Amino acid sequence: MDVERTIDIKAPVQDVWAILSDIPGYPRWNRSMQLTLDEEGRDYVAFAVPATTKEGKPYQWRLTGKLSPFREPEQVSWRLGVTGFMLLIMVIDLVPQGGDTRARFQLHLKGLMALFGRRALVGLLAVPIAGALRDLKRAAEGGEGRLRPKAVGKARIKKPRRRFR
């Protein structure tokens, strides 16, 4: 595992699962990264995180991939990239802690790019992963009324290409 972050959430697992398993609802609560479903409703996803160039210009780093089957109510995961070249496996686990929940976000990097660009990829994704967990905590503890609105000015993700069939 290349990056692992955890956070304790003062909400039952079922409440956290309801937020986490609703992929189309991610823009309502997750401002750290974007994860959107394919427009046709299948399990293909597009993933994007904000980044900056060496010159300081903002842009969005994007990958397409596929959702893995959910393990309700304990795990959501997805695979991004191309096997052999660059594959990112992202997993969010929910573990009951009494009446509360511990959420763990794991990132696994595989492939050729992971060998040569591991440090850069981990640096790019570590902050959005931690931010996504904070956003999940805020949404689960605050309820629907306190969910953050979608950030203004962020680029929209285009429909993923069909090369993963």
The domain defined by 3-146 carries CATH number 3.30.530.20: yes
Q: What is the pLDDT of residue 41?
A: 63
Mean pLDDT, residues 26-52 taken together: 84
Tokens 């069909």, located at residue: 162
pLDDT above 80 for 121: yes
What residues have CB less than 8 Å from 47, skipping those under 6 apart?
33, 34, 35, 62, 63, 64, 65, 78, 80, 90
pLDDT above 50 for 149: no
> Do 125 and 26 contact (CB within 8 A), yes or no?
no
pLDDT above 70 for 7: yes
User: With bands split at pLDDT 50, 70 and 90, how would you rate the model's confidence at 161?
Assistant: low
Cα–Cα distance list, 19 to 22, 90, 117 (Å): 6, 17, 32
Distance CA 142, CA 115 (A): 40
Q: How do 34-37 and 44-52 pair as beta strands?
A: antiparallel
CA 94 to chain centroid: 14
User: Over the stretch 110-119, which tens digit does the pLDDT of each residue have?
Assistant: 998 888 888 8
Residue 118, token pair as written in the block: 């591991």
pLDDT above 70 for 143: no
Cα dihedral 58, 163, 24, 97 sign: negative
pLDDT above 80 for 12: yes
Q: What is the pLDDT of residue 102?
A: 97
Q: What is the pLDDT of residue 19?
A: 95
Choice between 151 and 55, residue whose per-residue pLDDT is larger = 55
Distance CA 16, CA 11 (A): 7
Distance CA 67, CA 81 (A): 12
User: Over the stretch 61-101, which tens digit does the pLDDT of each residue have?
Assistant: 888 999 999 999 999 999 999 888 889 999 999 999 999 99
Mean pLDDT, residues 109-132 taken together: 88
Q: What percent of the chain has pLDDT over 90?
A: 47
Q: What is the pLDDT of residue 1?
A: 62
The model scores a pTM over 0.85: no
Q: What is the pLDDT of residue 21?
A: 92
3-state DSSP assignment of residue 81: strand
Give buried/exposed letters for 118-147 (b at 16+ CB in 10 A, else e): eeebeeebeebbbbbbebbbbbbeeeeeeb
